[in-house]
Structure 1
Amino acid sequence: MRRAFLAITGLAAGTTALVVLKGGPGAGPATAQELPAAQAPVVPGGSPAPGGAAATPSAAAPSVSATPGASAKPSAKPSADRKPASRSSTRTSTSTPAAPRTTTKAPKPTTRTVTGSSVSYKYGSLQVRITLSGSRIVDATATGMPLGGQSGQRSDDVQARYSGSSGEVVAKQSANLSTVSGATYTSTAYKQSLQSALDKA
C-alpha cells in the first residue's frame, strides 16, 4: 500500500516537473538522473519496472541551440520570386493644343460699273461705261454711238481701239488715249465721257 502511494506521488511530481522543464527558458530534455529516485515507472499491479530503471519521458523537448551572441541574420539577397513593384509611369501631356489656323484670304474686290456723262459730237452722242474691280479698270465700252455708214465705221474703229478687256483703256488705266486716225471727233467724245466716268469712280 505504501509502495502504491509512493508510485502515484512520484508520477504526479514527474509530470509536474516535465511541464515546468518544457515551459521554462533554456530547458533541455530531462534525464533519468535529474528525476528523484521515487519516480520509477510503475507497471500495472503496483510493482516497479524490471531493473529499477528510471522512466525516460517519451516526448523530449526540442533542442534549442543556445550559442551566445548568435542572432538570425536576414538574407542579403532578395528572393528570386520577389519582383520589384512596377511603377506605373503615366505621363500627362502638358503640351497645349495648337490653335486652329485661320487663313485670312484677302476679300475679293467688288466689281462695279460706272457710266460717264453723255457727250455730243459731230456725228451723234456717246457714253462710256467702265467696269472696275477695286480701283482697277477691267473693261470699257461705249454706248449710243451711231451705227452704219461712215459714222458707224468710225464708231467701230474707236470701239476696237479703246473698248474691251484688252483695249487701250484697260492697258493705260486712264483717259490719256491716242487718237484714232480718221475718227478725231469720235475719239475726242470717247475720251471726254471716259474722264467723266473716272471722276465718278
Structure 2
Amino acid sequence: MRRAFLAVTGLAAGTTLLVVLKAAPETTRVAEVATPERPPVVPAPAGPTPTGSAPAAPERTSAPPTTTEPSTPATTRAPRNAGGRTTSATPTPRRTTAPPSTRRTVTGPVVGNEYGNVQVRIVLVGDRIVDVVALELPEETAESDRRSSSVDNRYSGTDGEVVRRQDADLDTVSGATATSDAYQQSLQAAIDAARR
C-alpha cells in the first residue's frame, strides 16, 4: 500500500511539474517582450585613480542615469576633476602685474640768452615725459614776454610738442629763435639727467 501511495503521489507531482514547466516558457517569453534586457550602465571614473588603490566597483543600474547638464559634443566639454570643479584643457596664464611706474621730476639748468634766462622742468612716469613746465622765461620787455609766451604755449604742458615728440629736437618758434634754442638746451639737459 505504501508503494501505491508513493506512486500516486509521484504521478501527481510529475503532472504538476509538467504543467508548470509547459506554461513557464510562455510567461518568460512575454516578460522578455515587455521588458527587453538592457546592458548595465557603468559610469566612467570621475577623475584619475590614486596610485596604490583599486578603483571602486561601479554600481549596476538597469536604466540610464539622468543628467541636468546640456548635451554638448564631447570635444567641447571641459573635463571635470574629482572635486566636481570644471578644469580648463589649457593652462591659464599667470597674471603678472608690472611694478607701479615711478613719477619723478627733473629740472634742467638755467640757460641764459640775450633776452634773459630759460629753465625747464620735466615730469616723467617711467621713461615717458608726461608734462613740461617752463620755470623761467624772459619777460623783461613786452616783446620778450610775447616771444616767451609763444615758446611756452607750443612746447610746455601735457599736450605740448615735447610730450608728443618725447624729445628735445623741436621746431623753432618763428620770431623767438634765441628763446627756443635756450628752452631746448635746458630741456635736453633735463632729459639726459633723467635717463642716466
Q: TM-score scaled to structure 2, two decimals?
A: 0.55
CA-CA distance at 1:195 after TM superposition: 0.5
SS of corresponding position for 1:64: helix
Shift in Å at residue 63 of structure 1?
A: 3.5
Q: Which residue of 1 aligns with 2:137?
A: 145
* Aligned CA distance change for structure 1 residues 177 and 131 (closer, same or farther; 3 Å): same
Name stretches of at least 5 consecutive residues in structure 2 with no aligned partner.
Answer: 48-79
- Residue 150 (structure 1) shift: 2.7
* Distance in 2 (alpha carbons) for counterparts of 1:28 and 1:85: 51
Q: CA deviation at 1:129?
A: 1.4
Paired residue for 1:118, among 110, 115, 126? 110
Alpha-carbon distance, 1:106 to partner: 5.9
Question: Which residue identity does 1:129 align to in structure 2?
Answer: R
Larger Rg computed on CA atoms? 1
- TM (norm. structure 1) is 0.54
Q: Deviations over 1:54-73 (max 9, x none)?
A: xxxxxx9844229xxxx966
1:104 corresponds to 2:95: yes
Distance change >3 Å, CA 64–CA 98, structure 1 → 2: closer
The 3-state SS of whatever aligns with 1:125 is strand
Structure 2 CA distance for aligned equivalents of residues 92 and 199 of structure 1? 66
Compute the RMSD of aligned alpha carbons. 3.7
State the alpha-carbon separation in 1 of the partners of residues 96 and 137 from structure 2.
42
SS at match of 2:179: helix
Counterpart amino acid of 1:127? Q
Residue segments in structure 1 that go unaligned for 5+ positions in a row:
1-20, 30-59
What amino acid is aligned across from residue 123 of structure 2 in structure 1? T
Whole-angstrom distance in 2 between the partners of 1:180 and 1:117: 21
Correspondence 1:64 to 2:57 = no
What percentage of residue pairs aligned between the two structures are identical?
Answer: 40
For residues 90 and 124 of structure 1, the distance between their equivalents in structure 2, rounded to whole angstroms, comes to 90
